[in-house]
Structure 1
């Protein structure tokens, strides 16, 4: 096969290779780069292609191997090996160890905030928190179900206001 015929065959198969590149990379720009790398490798190694064999399968193999090589290179680039004598980089402050102190402070604040609620709001709220249904709370406290819902809503609002320091910002 002459260089011109080989180039023409590569050009014809480009459209059928693009979906495979997209499947591998899951990104349009990366797929285009992979396709271009595949075509460059195929053209530079055209002397290794045997006439009469399946050119499309050869190109798919080149593309798959190129993708794997690029992926492995990317993983190696992201891996850090600490070669210092005393492992200084591994023992640096980049690693965060949590000791649950924050959770303990939060739990203490939540418990205190609930304890500070008036019993009118605290009792229905705690019953609901423990799994009672609205109608069960209403029967137990002998108040209308609408009042139960209202008091639980008010308790939540009061707790939310008192514990606003723990509100996460998006």
Structure 2
């Protein structure tokens, strides 16, 4: 049964590519999305029901991955926007700061994330990647309440560090 599912999943790769292009409008991003979909499908093939339509199952996985990636991107951009402040009238420091390239801001935020204590950083990065609390808890072999708490404290720490930028 397992080999049959593997064959069904890989047989639909070409259809997945065209479907992914409709989501992303970018060939490389579409290829990444297909790879993520196949990986997730193979990792969760025990959840596939033998009487189900494999193509619909794969499309659902792909759609969910795309939506999670979109949400993660939106969350990341929200963090970036909160770091930017409008220049105050006559405040040269803020005016000069706003003309700095956004790459510096992204670099600063990444540095602050990676400066988190490992216990918080690990859970927080998985959450940013789009994993749900229960998935993170399973991956890290921790209770779900502990994971929620760690992510909460990571956000709190980052917020205080970003407000200083």
TM-score, normalised to structure 1, is: 0.49
Cα 1:6–1:70 shift into 2, 3 Å: same
1:14 paired to 2:10: no
- Partners of 1:47 and 1:41 in 2: CA distance: 11
Query: Contact between 1:82 and 1:90, CA under 8 Å: does it hold in 2?
Result: no
- Partners of 1:82 and 1:31 in 2: CA distance: 27
Query: Contact between 2:84 and 2:98, CA under 8 Å: does it hold in 1?
Result: no
1:5 paired to 2:4: yes
Aligned to 2:65: 66
Larger Rg: 1
Q: How many residues align?
A: 92
Q: Where does 1:123-134 land on structure 2 (aligned, <5 Å)?
A: none
More helix by share: 2
User: Which protein, 1 or 2, shows the higher relative CO under an 8 Å CA cutoff with sep ≥ 6?
Assistant: 2
Cα 1:82–1:5 shift into 2, 3 Å: closer
- Partners of 2:84 and 2:36 in 1: CA distance: 40
1:23 paired to 2:12: no
- Partners of 2:80 and 2:15 in 1: CA distance: 41
Structure 1 residues without counterparts, runs of 5 or longer? 97-170
Aligned to 2:33: 34
Cα 1:59–1:88 shift into 2, 3 Å: closer
Measured on the aligned residues, the alpha-carbon RMSD in Å equals 2.3
